[in-house]
Amino acid sequence: MPDIHSRRPSPEEVRSRTREILAAHAHLEGPLLPILHAMQESFGFVPQDCVQPIAEGLNIGRAEVHGVITFYHDFREAPAGRHVVKICRAEACQAQGGNALADDTLARLGLEWHGTTANGAVTIEPVYCLGLCACGPAAMVDGKVMGRVDAARMDAILAEAGA
């Protein structure tokens, strides 16, 4: 992962990137979600320092921007671990042993959902359906989908991620 994900950007860095992102999305109807996705793509999270310039750029209140950021599960207000492992909790995966996989993984790492390992290597998150319902339990590691994930496969994933 790029270096930018492992440290907090300076307020000036955030402001200048926000200006670029606002300009790139100015022509869209309803641009706020694409803008926030672009912010998160740049920094690995949506930094607090972008709220004011986005609000000004779109002529809406800061509270509205904050409200949108906090409504959606995808947007982080702080950086995640270097790798993000999402485990599907939905019914179809539960029917294929998803609960045991999730419980074992969390217990092994000593984490709750959304927790990050002490070394900052892995964040574990729940996801509700990846559309891999006929080959569960499913997981997503840094945006890459995986099916029929058993304990051995999860061990390999975590080892590779340095958890």
Partner 1 sequence: MKVWLPRDAAARALGADDVAGTLLTQARARGIDLTLIRNGSRGMIWLEPLLEIETPEGRIGFGPVTPADVAAILDTPEAHPKALGLVEALPWMARQTRLTFARCGVIDPLSLADYEAHGGLSGLRRALEMDAAGIVAEVTESGLRGRGGAGFPTGIKWDTVRKAQADRKYIVCNADEGDSGTFADRMIMEGDPFTLIEGMIIAGLGVGATKGFVYLRSEYPDAIEVMNAAVTIARDAGLLGASVLGTGPAFDMEIRVGAGAYVCGEETSLLNSLEGKRGVVRAKPPLPALQGFMGQPTVVNNVISLATVPVIFEKGAGFYRDFGLGRSRGTIPLQIAGNVQKGGLFETAFGLTLGEIVDDIAGGTRTGRPVKAVQVGGPLGAYFPRSKLDTPFGYEEFDGQGGLIGHAGVVVFDESADMLGMARFAFEFCAVESCGKCTPCRIGAVRGVETVDRIARGDADAIPLLTDLCETMKDGSLCALGGFTPYPVMSALTHFPDDFATTRKAAE
Q: Which residues contribute to the site for partner 1 (CB under 8 A)?
A: 28-34, 36-37, 58, 64, 67-68, 71-75, 90-96, 127-136, 138, 140, 143-148
CB of 77 within 8 A of CB of 46? Answer: yes
Residue 140 or 161 with smaller CB distance to partner 1: 140
Residue 3 or 41 with smaller CB distance to partner 1: 41
- Please give the C-alpha separations between residue 48 and each of 1, 86, 122, 136, in angstroms, as whole numbers: 22, 24, 23, 37
Closest approach, Cβ 119 to partner 1, in A, equals 26
Helix%, strand%, coil% for the chain, nearest 5: 50, 10, 40
- The residue length of the chain stands at 163
Residue 13 or 133 with smaller CB distance to partner 1: 133
Closest approach, Cβ 148 to partner 1, in A, equals 7
Closest approach, Cβ 118 to partner 1, in A, equals 26
Closest approach, Cβ 30 to partner 1, in A, equals 4
Residue 12 or 152 with smaller CB distance to partner 1: 152
Distance of CA 93 to the CA centre of its chain: 20
Distance of CA 81 to the CA centre of its chain: 10
Phi first, then psi: give them for residue 125, nearest 5 degrees: -130, 150
